[in-house]
Amino acid sequence: MTMSHSSQYSLLAPTAFFQPRRLGHVNLWVDDLGASERFYNEVCGLNVEFTEPDLIATFLGTGHTPHDLGMMQTTKGVDRYGRNGLLQLPGSIGLAPGLNHLAWELENEADLVSAWKRMRDDGVEMDMTVDHQVAHSVYIFDPDRNYNEFYCDTVKDWRNVLQGEMELITSRWDPASAEPFTEGRYDTSPTLRFVESAPIHPYRITHAVLQTAQLEAMTDFYTRIGGLRIACQDENVVYLRPSLESYEHALVLVRGDAPAYHHASFQIKDEQELEAALKRLDAAGRKIVGQAALPWKRSFFMKDVDGLLSEWYVARSAPIDLARRGDTPLAWAV
């Protein structure tokens, strides 16, 4: 299985609507918010940045963005509302643990509004547009019905706005209501932190892995609509990268029998720290569910309290060559 590598990293698909800088965060549905928060905070080392008790939601991260990982408790069939009567979480969704959405950070509001206008004019179906106080967002489904948030930061110093227990944050947003700003309001020198006492000391989230039975349609969506660029591909796998060159890829699509969220991947500082994390996990009696030691990465995998998978990894210098993955499962080797 030989990967075909694209040399046109600087080129976006000519009809791309969005142009994401990076994967900002992954948001999950979880059955027990408290138990999941403790796992990702006390074991995985993600700092609790803020919570939304009325939405039954927690947001954790290291500081590169307002959160690397969001979690919302499953709806149990009950509607949940944001500010000013916004039906934010219909009870018909979020009935089981799994992926809530992927969130893609854009350069500025002008880019976001321009994409929204073009999609509106071209008849591309969108779900909703909202104001999260520190971000404006457009939500849209991919062909497998995975939910995607395309957003721009509206406040650079977001920790002054979101900290501790928050009242309802989200309200409606009309992208046509005002002239959009053109400057990037993301923090270029963020204060980074993780939980020192946790076995894992993460650096940042970088990418997610999705399985799909319609690889071609999903690739078309994430390039033509989502504006990601093909970094390399073969008949079963497509690596998609954002515009920030410090991120090798932001999404990996893997052909499978049915659509599924496979895992989110969190980068660790270096291999020495990764090995130290494994020793701390063992000392704490925390079991990993697998490892990968490949020429292009070293990683281990954890399952959370709902059985959702996460990867903790260090990239290596060798190019990706899935033919050399040995007995490592495909979705674990990418």
Is the pLDDT at 2 greater than 70, yes or no?
Answer: no
In tens, the pLDDT along 257-308 reads: 999 999 999 999 999 999 999 999 999 999 999 999 999 999 999 999 999 9
Torsion of CA 157, 158, 162, 168, to 10 degrees: 130
The whole-number pLDDT of residue 12 equals 45
Three-class SS of residue 165?
strand
* pTM score: 0.95
Is the pLDDT at 49 greater than 80, yes or no?
Answer: yes
Can you say whether the dihedral through the CA atoms of 138, 142, 147, 152 is positive or negative?
negative
In tens, the pLDDT along 305-327 reads: 999 999 999 999 999 999 999 99
The three-point CA angle 50-285-34 to 5° equals: 25
The whole-number pLDDT of residue 99 equals 98
- The arithmetic mean of pLDDT across residues 166-179, rounded, is 95
Domains in the chain: boundaries: 22-172, 199-333
Is the pLDDT at 190 greater than 50, yes or no?
Answer: yes
| DSSP code at position 85 | G
| DSSP code at position 226 | T
> Are the CB atoms for 105 and 20 separated by under 8 Å?
yes
The whole-number pLDDT of residue 148 equals 98
Task: Tell me the C-alpha distance between 322 and 317, whole Å.
Answer: 15
Radius of gyration of the chain (CA): 19
> Are the CB atoms for 135 and 186 separated by under 8 Å?
no
The three-point CA angle 240-5-290 to 5° equals: 60
Q: Closest by alpha carbon to 330, among 251, 249, 262?
A: 262
* Record: fold of 199-333: 2,3-Dihydroxybiphenyl 1,2-Dioxygenase; domain 1 (3.10.180)
> Are the CB atoms for 20 and 150 separated by under 8 Å?
yes
Query: Which helix (H) or strand (E) is 274 found in, with range?
Result: helix 271-283
**Banded pLDDT at 15 (limits 50, 70, 90):** confident
Range in 137-141, 164-168, 216-220, 297-301 the model is least confident about: 164-168
Domains 22-172 and 199-333 share a fold: yes
The whole-number pLDDT of residue 14 equals 53
The whole-number pLDDT of residue 9 equals 35
* Residue 318, phi then psi, degrees to nearest 5: -70, 145
Residue predicted with more confidence, 12 or 262:
262
| DSSP code at position 225 | I
CATH number, span 22-172: 3.10.180.10
Is the pLDDT at 11 greater than 60, yes or no?
Answer: no
The whole-number pLDDT of residue 3 equals 72
In tens, the pLDDT along 23-36 reads: 999 999 999 999 99
- The arithmetic mean of pLDDT across residues 197-215, rounded, is 98
State percent of the chain over pLDDT 90: 95
> Are the CB atoms for 202 and 45 separated by under 8 Å?
yes
> Are the CB atoms for 201 and 275 separated by under 8 Å?
no
**Banded pLDDT at 53 (limits 50, 70, 90):** very high
- The arithmetic mean of pLDDT across residues 73-102, rounded, is 95
The three-point CA angle 295-301-307 to 5° equals: 150
The whole-number pLDDT of residue 6 equals 59
